[in-house]
Amino acid sequence: MKKFSFLFVSFLLAPLSLLSQDTIVEKVVERPERPAFESSYIIDNPTDVTFIKNTLEVHMAHRFGVVNSGTNDLIGIWAPANIRIALSYAPHERLTLGFGTSKFNRLQDFNWKVALLRQTRSGSIPVNVTYYGNFVIDARGKENFLVEQHRYSYFNQLIVSRRFDSKLSLQGAVSVSHYNLVPQRMRNDVIAMSLGGRYKISSQTAILVDYTQPFIHHLDGAELDMDPEAGISVGVEFRTSSHAFQLFLSSYQGIVPQQNIMFNQNNFFEGDFLIGFNITRLYNF
């Protein structure tokens, strides 16, 4: 009788056990995929990376002078260099807020990043979709501007990325850069398309490639001498659990995105590239 009762109870509870197992498996399958990139920047462009809640990122970016400058400056190392130091904080795992200060033009940038969609391990959501934006103030002397509003510029970017496997990640992005003050006959807004990739060659080392193409259209249809060149960067990234170090060659000497997209005059294939590096450090509270 006792054996019969035990079997009867086990028979009744079996569906609940199976349902519980199915629920657990479903939750595991639908977990977000790891970020496509391991650093918040792929050389010159923001990535899909946001941080766990209460994470502080310290970011330092350095760009030496152009290698092919024609002067005795030791491949740009002795030339004037651009530097940006920034802090970013994550009040939520899908939101990052930051502030940075740059040497060239004394740019002060307030920036934010929002994870709109996250790639899932099951593939039900195949890509990450991330929004990045900033508001920048040119802090040079007032003699450089007729009105206060001429100091301001803005940048908005939509990033689509995918982690294909443990080694390869790719991203594409479309952006709009806006300056309140631009040279005569130049538009205040420029649309650009960016493509970037990361390929791991070891557990802590990866090859990086980054390309940005601005699309310029003038009212009179004529090209201008100050029309920007495309941005091309290639480099290597070394990563630990809390550090990322990127060493690269780039045609961009500006560090704030809209400054590069609107005003870059360096042509990578004509030798107008420079040595640069990015360093990030994460602190969790």
Mean of pLDDT over the chain: 90
Residue 205 tokens read as: 């080392």
27 Cβ contact partners less than 8 Å away, ≥ 6 residues apart: none
Whether 66 is in a domain gets the answer: yes
pLDDT tens digit string along 230-275?
Answer: 999 999 999 988 899 999 999 999 999 999 999 999 999 999 999 9
pLDDT tens digit string along 11-44?
Answer: 445 555 555 555 554 445 579 999 999 999 999 9
Whether 51 is in a domain gets the answer: yes
Query: Residue 259 has what DSSP assignment?
Result: H
Whether 96 is in a domain gets the answer: yes
Whether 1 is in a domain gets the answer: no
Summarize the confidence of residues 85-102 as an average pLDDT. Answer: 98
pLDDT above 60 for 1: no
Predicted pLDDT at 12 = 45
Predicted pLDDT at 105 = 95
Confidence of residue 187 (pLDDT cuts 50, 70, 90): confident
- 233 versus 224: the higher-pLDDT residue is 233
Whether 213 is in a domain gets the answer: yes
Predicted pLDDT at 72 = 77
pLDDT tens digit string along 119-178?
Answer: 999 999 999 999 999 999 999 999 999 999 999 999 999 999 999 999 999 999 999 999
Whether 13 is in a domain gets the answer: no
| Integer Cα distance of 152 and 179 in angstroms | 6
Whether 258 is in a domain gets the answer: yes
Whether 9 is in a domain gets the answer: no
254 Cβ contact partners less than 8 Å away, ≥ 6 residues apart: 63, 82, 102, 104, 260, 263, 264
CATH number for 217? 2.40.160.40
| Integer Cα distance of 71 and 99 in angstroms | 35
Residue 263 tokens read as: 């005003």
Distance of CA 64 to the CA centre of its chain: 20
Number of Cα atoms under 13 Å in the Cβ half of residue 15: 2
pLDDT above 90 for 186: no
172 Cβ contact partners less than 8 Å away, ≥ 6 residues apart: 159, 160, 161, 193, 194, 195, 196
* Number of domain units in the chain: 1
Task: Say if residues 82 and 253 touch (Cβ distance below 8 Å).
Answer: yes
- Residue 75 has a CB neighbour count (10 Å cut-off) of 14
User: Which structural domain range is residue 231 located in?
Assistant: 31-284
